[in-house]
Structure 1
């Protein structure tokens, strides 16, 4: 059975205000759809136009997301988008920081400017989005932050050192958020996908040789699709994980291990 066919229902997510960065394409689009199908009020940001995606979601789920065009490297704009989402849907109860750019650049190719650009999208917005939603979550009696990381740093992957570093930073930052925000009943966890075959991955980097080599590393011999990440995110966002915080949940088909 597919991931969509086995998706559980979390009644506490119905009506919840959910904010997703990069929520109109790739893994982010699958997450947006997953929350919409739970009956959540979803707002998402990305740079490119997502009107067609919103139309399709409204038709297929009966629940239209709120799209706010935003470059998340512009922190004031990101903060305004979160404020706009709260004005439309109520205080953000679930933040999913998902937007990222895994541009391939070797150590030699990574200039100071390239390093800063990578951190500006792959790490900095994660912190400031959490900072922006925390007051509303605190006033509402709690909330959930899900930071999308990656197993790339656990594998020690070569070819994109800034991206790998940022994802290690996301996991460390998530633990700091969990500790500091926990007294306000705000939970923070990292969700760490393996190699998910989005359209971007297929068109840019998924050669037959690399796909075969990666599949050989997995315990489960099936490539991951965006829908395979949705269940874990819904679980972390829901009351089913109410006493889980500061953790890293891996969904990679069995490449790396935690604990």
Structure 2
């Protein structure tokens, strides 16, 4: 815990029951935060992590793509230490293209990946006690620096969320709330990708070194510990954006 946030504050991590979100939860617990672990359906997994980390950790199940989902998360803060950190790591990631995307897929991605976290961030900002510092960290995608058309609806929703992140940083700065983002390249097996394909393409970047969750945790901890930084996006991609890949890495040959 850094002086900016005081001695005991709550961190909210969306999608905190599995994968990258769960790694963030455990790291923040190690750093002394009280955790509100959000999940959509993985309640058993979230409850197991809450029991593991202790320190008053709590679980809230909510679909952030619905209108009232973000409000349910904020309501779950009742009785917890004051909120000071929100990590928007939950995401919908489904394969489509320009030729076959549907209105339903478009709306689903926009609601889950842009509108939902935007509403949650607004509710979080309103819940932060006046005069106390806070931080929002949004998980974007390194592909936004060099877009390719795979995962079409997903990519556009992350583009929208990048805009939300920039505007929130400007709007919330006078309130003492910082807003930053982390943009990782492929870190875990994702979507229709096989483990064999992941092993082949994980290190397909300029550094020839695959990105792992520890890299993302270090980026998060850096942002937490940097009170003068807001409105920034940290690309954690091993320089993959320098390669200008024409397709998503999982569809490329190593």
Indicate whether the TM-score tops 0.5: yes
Provide runs of 4+ in structure 1 moved above 6 Å: none
In the alignment, what sits opposite 2:21? Answer: 28
How many angstroms does 1:242 deviate by? 0.5
In the alignment, what sits opposite 1:150? Answer: 141
After superposition, the Cα gap between the structure-2 partners of 1:169 and 1:13, relative to the gap in structure 1 and judged at 3 Å, is: farther
1:107 aligned residue (88, 98, 104): 98
Count of equivalent residues? 241
Q: Distance in 2 between matches of 1:114 and 1:74?
A: 14
How many angstroms does 1:214 deviate by? 4.9
How many angstroms does 1:49 deviate by? 3.1
Q: Distance in 2 between matches of 1:256 and 1:13?
A: 37
In the alignment, what sits opposite 2:238? Answer: 253
Q: Is the 8 A contact 1:138 1:185 kept in 2?
A: no
Q: Distance in 1 between matches of 2:198 and 2:32?
A: 38
TM-score, structure 1 length as denominator?
A: 0.84
2:32 pairs with 1:39: yes
Q: Is the 8 A contact 2:138 2:165 kept in 1?
A: yes
Unaligned runs of 5+ in 1: 1-8
Q: Distance in 2 between matches of 1:206 and 1:184?
A: 45
Higher helix proportion: 1
TM-score, structure 2 length as denominator?
A: 0.85
In the alignment, what sits opposite 1:72? Answer: 64
Q: Distance in 1 between matches of 2:129 and 2:166?
A: 18
In the alignment, what sits opposite 1:3? Answer: none
After superposition, the Cα gap between the structure-2 partners of 1:152 and 1:229, relative to the gap in structure 1 and judged at 3 Å, is: same
Q: CA RMSD in A?
A: 2.3
Q: Is the 8 A contact 1:21 1:46 kept in 2?
A: yes
In the alignment, what sits opposite 1:4? Answer: none
User: What does the per-residue CA deviation read over 1:125-147, in whole Å, with 9 as the maximum and x for residues that have no partner?
Assistant: 12101110112225242311111
In the alignment, what sits opposite 1:55? Answer: 48
Q: What's the secondary structure of 2:11's corresponding residue?
A: strand
User: What does the per-residue CA deviation read over 1:197-230, in whole Å, with 9 as the maximum and x for residues that have no partner?
Assistant: 15xx2x8314535643452324142x33333311
Q: Is the 8 A contact 1:17 1:94 kept in 2?
A: yes
Q: Is the 8 A contact 1:10 1:38 kept in 2?
A: no
Unaligned runs of 5+ in 2: 243-254
Higher relative contact order (CA 8 A, sep 6+): 1
Q: Is the 8 A contact 1:21 1:99 kept in 2?
A: yes
In the alignment, what sits opposite 1:19? Answer: 12
Q: What's the secondary structure of 1:241's corresponding residue?
A: coil
Q: Is the 8 A contact 2:50 2:58 kept in 1?
A: no
How many angstroms does 1:179 deviate by? 0.8
In the alignment, what sits opposite 1:229? Answer: 216
After superposition, the Cα gap between the structure-2 partners of 1:216 and 1:80, relative to the gap in structure 1 and judged at 3 Å, is: closer
After superposition, the Cα gap between the structure-2 partners of 1:64 and 1:220, relative to the gap in structure 1 and judged at 3 Å, is: farther
After superposition, the Cα gap between the structure-2 partners of 1:104 and 1:133, relative to the gap in structure 1 and judged at 3 Å, is: same
